[in-house]
Amino acid sequence: MPATIPTARLSRLAILAVTGAAALSLAACGGSNDAKPNSASPTSAAPTSSSTPSAKGAGKDWVKGLIDSVSGSTIQVSQRSGSATVDFTPSTQVAELAAAQLTDITTGSCVSVQPDRHSDSPGGNAITARSVRISSAVDGKCPDPKESAGAATPPPGAPSRHHQTSGQVASVAGNTITVNSTDPSGNSSQTTVTVTDTTKYTKKAATDAQAITQGKCIVAHGSTDGGGALQATAITVQQADNGQCPEPGGEHQHHRH
């Protein structure tokens, strides 16, 4: 009998040892499970730049009229349809139109021709110029006439019955100018422009905001903001004629889409 006592105790000790080992194992597993969510916890998704800046073009809106006042970067303009506000920034392209003459037109220069109202040909391939605006080509190319902000250019939406022609000068011979044009679809055409003693010429040249002053005529292109002000991407100014601004482009002074 006495010999069985140690054996029983040993058995109990063995059971306790096994139970303790199992408990420790479970505890270790529990700790491992608790740590997993922390290690797997994803770093909060980094914000993806889903907002792409919208590309700005020349702008479909425009203002044309006489400058009433300039305060900082804000211009007040009198138009036939009422007053308008134009805001500009250092990135706004500014140009000025000045008087020019036929000899300023050379091969390779850019022109925008407003025909005489009574001389349009049905096909628009031969016209007599009432006015010609001259500018320099950039990298050998002329700007899209829709993006031009010249005061001598008809505003977007102006009647096209006068067959205004814009393009690059192919040649000048006496009173005849040959102009190569390309439409938005890439189709090329050539127009023969005849100038007369009554044709008026202006030349467009890049300048800075110092040229924007009270009493000048302005054509500004850009986009209208929520407050009704035009945020100008391009501005062209020129001297007024006895307080009046030229209207070669038709009846409209101001147009917004």
Residue range 8-33, pLDDT digits in tens: 454 554 444 544 544 444 444 444 44
- For the question of whether the overall pTM of this predicted structure is more than 0.85, the answer is no
DSSP annotation of 3: T
Backbone angles phi, psi at 6, to 5 degrees: -60, -35
Rounded to whole angstroms, the Cα distance separating 33 from 10 reads: 35
The answer to whether residue 253 sits within a structural domain is: no
The answer to whether residue 43 sits within a structural domain is: no
Beta bridge partners of 177: 172, 193
Taking the CA atoms of residue 19, residue 21, residue 22 and residue 24 in that order, the dihedral angle to the nearest 10 degrees is 120
Rounded to whole angstroms, the Cα distance separating 203 from 112 reads: 10
Q: Do 166 and 181 contact (CB within 8 A), yes or no?
A: yes
The answer to whether residue 3 sits within a structural domain is: no
The answer to whether residue 116 sits within a structural domain is: yes
Task: Show the domain range for 136.
Answer: 61-239
- Smallest CA-to-CA distance from 201 within 173, 224, 177 is with 177
The answer to whether residue 82 sits within a structural domain is: yes
pLDDT of amino acid 44: 34
pLDDT of amino acid 102: 97
The answer to whether residue 19 sits within a structural domain is: no
Helix%, strand%, coil% for the chain, nearest 5: 20, 40, 45
Neighbours of 91 (CB within 10 A): 8
Domain count, the chain: 1
The answer to whether residue 45 sits within a structural domain is: no
pLDDT of amino acid 149: 42
Tokens found for residue 126 = 């031969």
pLDDT of amino acid 183: 82
- Smallest CA-to-CA distance from 220 within 70, 59, 56, 54 is with 59
Report the SS3 class of residue 44: coil
The answer to whether residue 25 sits within a structural domain is: no
pLDDT beneath 50, residues of the chain: 1, 3-4, 7-8, 10, 13-16, 18-19, 21-57, 122, 147-161, 248-257
pLDDT of amino acid 255: 36
